[in-house]
Amino acid sequence: MAGLQATERNEIYGSLPGIEVPVGEALVSLSNMWNATPASEQSRSPSEFRASRMNFILHFGKEATVEDAQKLFQSVIGFSKRYPCRILALCPSKDKNATGQGIVCKIFSECYIGDGHGDMSCCEALIFGYTVKEKQYLEDQISIFLESDLPTYYWPYRFDSPKNLSDYQSFFGNANRVVIDTAAETYGIEALNVPKPEIIHDLAFARTLSLRQSIGQFFSAFPVDHILEGLAAIEVDTPDNLNAELRALMRWIQSVLEDCQNCVENSKRDRFDVGFRESEMAEIRFLYENENAARCQLNLETGVAHFDATIGGNRHSMSAVIHLLDSDDTLAEALFFG
């Protein structure tokens, strides 16, 4: 029986929008799409609104579902409304027996009307389908579709193992920044064996921006040396749907406290334990060997955090509005600021 062609069982490729074109003609076809004749003399050509600032590679792994792919693709499209980019979506066939066509391609573009008169922005996407057979030269093939004078960002999603993701050394090596969502993956960033691991940023951490801002604001009311004095442990209650975000938040808190220990003169640099337990409510408790105590209740359902602490003999309480960043802001935070 003849092998299945690349697109016959490639559900993700088939589910994403676009016009199918030969791979060798993709860039010409994309250019022709932008150079379409305006609908009227008063209209402006779409090419006038095409101003990509970056390449964005969205790479689906075999554990990604059609629903995942559609949601993420629309998320990156939404991101491109604010940060115009050329999107390259890479969609593997899940059928090991799929062969035949080689890499297949669709092109897609979309424009958005802004608030001001004549305000418009446009994005473009190249969607590629491939099989296991094409994996070995996928990176070389895709490189010719990148705009060479622009930075490149890489988002791999739901690969079945860190080893299989680590095989894409060129994508990691040539990217300006990589984002991974540990809330969706079954392994941590530290499991990857890739060049430049320092450029990998966690979307779960980026989502916690308002939590970090509120925690920092609250503890700024106390002297740093008083916060550190006698700190023995930190207990974290984690709802299942916030496990990745709270673990990322705790890594940040640990890093901040360790930096503070290095800055405080005569600091004992005592180590403190961090423990996690499942709970319906997110809460962080700072446990001390002296009379100090601090508690952060993070209710993301109501969008309100309550903080209370007695440190160095001083009592301070605060409430704050908190939220997890939406998908567009999360990407921006991870790519440009995190």
Give average pLDDT by consecutive 10-residue segment, the chain, 338 residues: 55 95 91 67 53 91 96 94 93 76 88 63 90 87 93 97 95 97 94 95 98 97 93 96 97 92 68 91 96 97 97 96 96 92
225's enclosing H/E stretch is helix 224-228
pLDDT of residue 292: 96
> With b meaning 16 or more CB within 10 Å and e meaning fewer, what string describes 235-255?
ebbbbeebbbbbbbbbeebee
Return phi, psi of residue 238, to 5°. Answer: -125, 115
Kind of pairing between the strands at 177-180 and 152-157: parallel
Q: What is the DSSP letter of 318?
A: E
The pLDDT, as a whole number, for residue 50 is 61
Q: Is 116 helix (H, G, I), strand (E, B) or coil?
A: coil
Say what the pLDDT of residue 3 is: 42
pLDDT at 161 (0 to 100): 94
**CA–CA separation, 231 vs 42, rounded Å?**
68
What local confidence, expressed as pLDDT, does residue 150 receive?
Answer: 95
Write phi, then psi, for 307 (nearest 5 degrees).
Answer: -120, 140
Q: Note the pLDDT of residue 201.
A: 97
Q: What pLDDT, on the 0 to 100 scale, is given for residue 1?
A: 35
pLDDT for residue 2: 41
pLDDT score recorded for residue 34: 73
Question: Is there a contact between 281 and 239 (Cβ–Cβ < 8 Å)?
Answer: yes
Give pLDDT, residue 4. Answer: 45
**What's the pLDDT score for residue 31?**
85
